[in-house]
Structures are given as C-alpha cells and as structure tokens.
Chain A
Amino acid sequence: MMALDPERKRALFEATALPLTTALYNTALRLTGASADASDLVQETFLRAYRTFENFSLGTNCKAWLLTILYSIHINQRKRAEHTTIALPPEEVEALLDEDAGDDQRLPELDERWGPEVDRALGDLAEPLRAAILLVDIEQLPYEEAAAALGWPVGTLRSRLFRARKRLFATLEGYARATGYLRKPVRPE
C-alpha cells in the first residue's frame, strides 16, 4: 500500500482492522489465560499494526496479518519473561494418545454446554498445539495462512494440529466419561 495521509490511514485502519477486535481478543485471551494480559496484547497488536499499516496489502486477509503480529508479540513477551519453556508434550503422552480405546459408543455433541470444558482442555495444551487450534479451528485460517502467522512450515502446523486434536479428544473424552455421557471402556482381559 502506498503511503497514506494520516487521516485516510486512520480511517482505513479503523474500517479494516478494528472490527477484528473481538476475534483478536479471544485469541489473546486463550493464549494468555487472563483478560488483562489479553487486553494489553490486543492493544499492542493494534498499535504495531497501525505503525506498519503501509505494509499491509488491502484486499488480503487482515485477520491473518493481525494474528501474525499478535503471536509474534506474545512469543517475544514470553521469551523476555522467561516463563515456562514452550515444550511440546513428551513422547510418552503421544504414545498414549495413539492408543485405540476400541470403543464404538457414540460421542456426545460438543454443544455450547461443553464450552467451559473445551476451553479448559484447550488451556491445558502446550502453547504451540493450542496456537494451531486457535488459528485453524477457531479463527478458520487456511493451513498456509496459519503457518505463516505462527512462523512455522505448513508441515509443522499440520503435525501440531493433529497432535492438538488428539490431545483434546483424550481430555474431552475423559470429561464425557466422568459426566456419564460415555461409559468407561471395557477392555478384554
């Protein structure tokens, strides 16, 4: 985009980027786990996006562009704060997830009543796995745009998305059994 006069730039930014506040806030909330941190992250994302708005090509996916900035800020903040390392789940967990329960029972529909459980299970995922779900399943970005936003090759996104969904299934299936939606699996002796 060519350089814009300040008023036109502000108007375009408000029309293009700000309507995505709710989507950004929800992604930020699910990344940080706290409303105040999510608000700070969204504010910083919009500010950086505004400063570099000339780099954005009108007509391309503004949500993907903003999520790229948001995730980059989030990762840098995490690194600076030297919080927990962003480790992927250990191999043993992966192996467990590959087990087939051999259960033919019908899965309960994950309707709105399941919102808190799904959110909690999502929050328990390692961050890269959670980010894959947030961008592909919740924000509905194509693999290529989600991978670019997260700074990963498409193959890495595909693999992490698969593991994320498997882990979520394992956790939610546990909830389903605990709440009686599914019977405990009966395994042959």
Chain B
Amino acid sequence: MTGYHPLGEEIQDFADGRLTPARREDLEAHLATCPQCGRELERLRWVKEGTARLPMHEPPLDLPARVAQALDSEDRRGSRASPLRRYLLAAAGVLAAAAAVVILLSRGPRDLPSAVGRDFAAYRKAVLSLDTASGDGPTLERYFAWRGLAFRTRVFDLGMMGYGLVGARVHRLDGRPSALFAYRGVGDHTLMCQMFEGSLDELPQGGEAREHNGIEFRIFKQHGLTLVFWMEGSVVCVLVSDVPGEDVVQLAYAKAVKV
C-alpha cells in the first residue's frame, strides 16, 4: 500500500457505508497505516455528523392552515369536474370502497385508541403540528366552525386543573374530520383532546368501562398513555395523555357533559 492513496470519494464511500466488504477491508487496512487518509476520513465524518445534528426550525404557525386552504380549494375545483371525470371517479370509488371493505374485514374492529395514541406521539415529537395557536377556547371553537367542521365542538377550559390551551388543528382520525386541541400543564405535560362524529361502539374490546354522572366512559391504556372516550350527542370525545391514568380520567369526569 506504500505510496498509494485512495481517492477522497472512495474514503467518503467508506464513511457512508457504501463499499463492498472486500473493498472495505482493503481500505481499513490502508487507513490503519496512513495518517493522511485517516485525517481525510475524520474530516468527512466531522462534517457529516455536524450537519446531521443541525437543529430543525419550526415552520410558521400559519403554514399548516395555508396548506389546508390550498388543498380545500383543490378539492372544490375537483368537485366541479366534468361528467366523464365524475363517472370515472365514481367507478374508481366503487373499486376503492370494495378494497376498503376487504381491508376492514381483514383488520377487524377499528383501532381508534391506537390512532389517537399515534397522533399524541406525533404531536409530542413535533411531527404533527397545530394549525393555529390560541389559549382561548371560544376562539378555537370559532376556528373549527370556520374550517367547516360539520359538528359542534366544545373546547374545554382546564385552567383550574393546571392545563393551558396551546392551539388546535382540523385533523383526520380514521378517515373522518376531527377537532384536535392540545393543552400544556405543569412540568410540560401534554394533554390532547379530539372530537369526531362516531360512536363508542366502534371502539375495540378490551377497554375498561366506567359510568360517572350518567355518562359512559371507556378507558384504554397503551404504551404509557391513558385514553378516555365518551359521547356528547353524536360526537365522540377522547382525552389522551401520558400523565398518571387516574388524572386523565378525573379530567374527563370534570369536563364531560350529558347531551
């Protein structure tokens, strides 16, 4: 190997794990005895690791709402499509519905608790963002109405319980519109609520059933989260958090109303 130096791009291939095992072995042997190529490798890794660690910037708060409005406009444009396009869409819809039936039959009852849990985790990881930031419940209720949610929302004030509203988004849960709003409590704990049209009968078996003030509650615990479901008219409400389970239940008891 004396006098031989691999090309820099080959050292980069080594750093990026793109060499064949045989070539990797050759290069490892060379790097062990060549300080110059060792430094080259160290520099490439230094930059690669430094850029991978760059902080992520939060998108502007109004960006999700802007995107949603653009998609709404596109949907409205699509609904004014030609008769032929409508026919083709209808035909495709029949096929998609048939496929959906097959999928639903094969996966059994809807797993709404898992879907709500995934949304909570996505929000905590900042993968799921809010459309609008406000600490005022009535403002968020007006926002949901303005975004065209077909059901009435009730954004609870949990200030007395130590939770302040953060904001809301018009979301989709299991293919249906959902009003999602989030709270932040002492110790940076997060509490999330979703409201959507449906029924407790859609929930899978296995949850704990309780009754309080004449209202039926279904409680699920999974992956360190507690999810409490109840009905208000035709709307399902669910509170979810990773705080102690009984705290979530008591918050739900305090805010649920019989409709």
Contact = CB atoms under 8 A, between A and B. Distances in A.
Interface of A: 2-8, 10-11, 13-15, 18-19, 21-23, 25-26, 29, 35, 39, 42-43, 46-47, 50-51, 98, 100, 103-104, 107, 110-112, 114-115, 118-119, 122, 133, 136-138, 140, 143, 158-159, 161-162, 165-166, 168-169, 172
Contacts of A10: 71, 75, 172
Given A4-B92, A35-B60, A43-B66, A161 B12 contact: yes
A118 B63 contact: no
A150 B87 CA distance: 37
Given A46-B70, A112-B53, 13 more contacts: A8-B96, A8-B175, A21-B67, A42-B59, A103-B39, A107-B42, A115-B55, A122-B54, A138-B51, A162-B9, A165-B12, A169-B46, A172-B46
A100 B78 contact: no
The 6 closest A-B pairs by CB, nearest first: A110-B50, A3-B92, A5-B93, A25-B59, A137-B51, A11-B175
A47 B96 contact: no
Contacts of A140: 52
Give the most central of B9, B12, B59, B127: most A CB within 10 Å. B59
Contacts of A136: 16
Contact of A46 (B67, B97, B99): B67
Contacts of B95: 2
A118 B47 CA distance: 9
B129 A21 contact: yes
A158 B126 contact: no
Contact of B172 (A2, A14, A112, A159): A14
A18 B63 contact: no
Interface in B173-213: 175-176
Contacts of B67: 18, 21, 42-43, 46-47
| Chain A facing B: main interface SS | helix
B74 A47 contact: yes
Contact of B54 (A25, A51, A119, A165): A119
A169 B42 CA distance: 10
7 contacts: A26-B56, A39-B60, A42-B67, A43-B66, A47-B74, A110-B49, A138-B54
Interface in B40-97: 42-44, 46-60, 63-64, 66-67, 70-71, 74-75, 78-79, 88-89, 92-93, 95-97
A100 B36 contact: yes
A118 B70 contact: no
A95 B179 CA distance: 58
B222 to A, nearest CB: 19
A46 B66 CA distance: 10
Nearest to B46: A107
A100 B35 CA distance: 11
Give the most central of B46, B51, B57, B66: most A CB within 10 Å. B51
B8 interface: yes
Contacts of B60: 35, 39
A20 to B, nearest CB: 8
Give the most central of A26, A50, A110, A133: most B CB within 10 Å. A110
Contacts of A138: 51-52, 54
A173 to B, nearest CB: 8
Interface string B158-177: 00000000000001100110
B71 to A, nearest CB: 6
A6 to B, nearest CB: 6
Contacts of A158: 9, 12-13
B122 interface: yes
Nearest to A165: B47
Contacts of B35: 104
Contact of A169 (B43, B74, B79, B122): B43
B74 A51 contact: yes
